[in-house]
Amino acid sequence: MALILSLETSTTVCSVAIHRGQDLIAIAEVHVEQSHASKLAVLIDEVKKLTSIELIELNAIAISSGPGSYTGLRIGISTAKGLCYALGIPLISINSLEILAYQMNQVNISKAFLCPMIDARRMEVYCLLSDDKLNILQPTEAKVINALSFSEQLECHPIIFFGSGSAKCEDVITHHNALFIKDIYLSAKHVGAMAYQKLLNKEIEDVGNAEPFYLKEFLIKKPLENKIA
Instruction: Report the percentage of the chain scoring pLDDT > 70.
Output: 94
- 3-96+186-209 — its CATH code? 3.30.420.40
What does the DSSP 8-state code read for residue 216? Answer: S
Which distant-in-sequence residues (6+ apart) come within 8 Å of 30 by Cβ? 13, 14, 15, 39, 43
Q: What is the mean pLDDT of residues 25-39?
A: 87
Give yes or no for a contact between 6 and 195, defined as CB atoms under 8 angstroms apart. yes
User: What is the predicted pLDDT for the residue at 78?
Assistant: 95
Fold agreement (3-96+186-209, 97-181): yes
What does the DSSP 8-state code read for residue 205? Answer: B
Confidence check: pLDDT of 227 > 60: no
Question: pLDDT per residue over 204-214, tens digit each?
Answer: 999 999 999 99
User: What is the predicted pLDDT for the residue at 217?
Assistant: 63
Please say whether the structural domain 97-181 has been given the CATH code 3.30.2350.10: no
Question: pLDDT per residue over 138-164, tens digit each?
Answer: 999 999 999 999 999 999 999 999 999
For residue 172, the tally of other CB atoms under 10 A from its CB is 13
SS3 191: helix
Peptide bond preceding 223: is omega within 30 degrees of 0, i.e. cis? no
User: What is the predicted pLDDT for the residue at 33?
Assistant: 78
Question: pLDDT per residue over 72-112, tens digit each?
Answer: 999 999 999 999 999 999 999 999 999 999 999 999 999 99
Confidence check: pLDDT of 37 > 90: no
* Mean pLDDT score across all residues of the chain: 92
User: What is the predicted pLDDT for the residue at 34?
Assistant: 73
Reported as a pLDDT band with limits 50, 70 and 90, residue 228 is very low
What is the domain partition of the chain in residue ranges? 3-96+186-209, 97-181
Reported as a pLDDT band with limits 50, 70 and 90, residue 229 is very low
Lowest mean pLDDT among 9-23, 71-85, 215-229: 215-229
CA distance 30 to 16: 9
For residue 103, give the nearest of 39, 185, 213 by alpha carbon. Answer: 185
CA distance 80 to 134: 26
Which pairing describes strands 159-162 and 178-181: parallel, antiparallel, or unpaired?
parallel
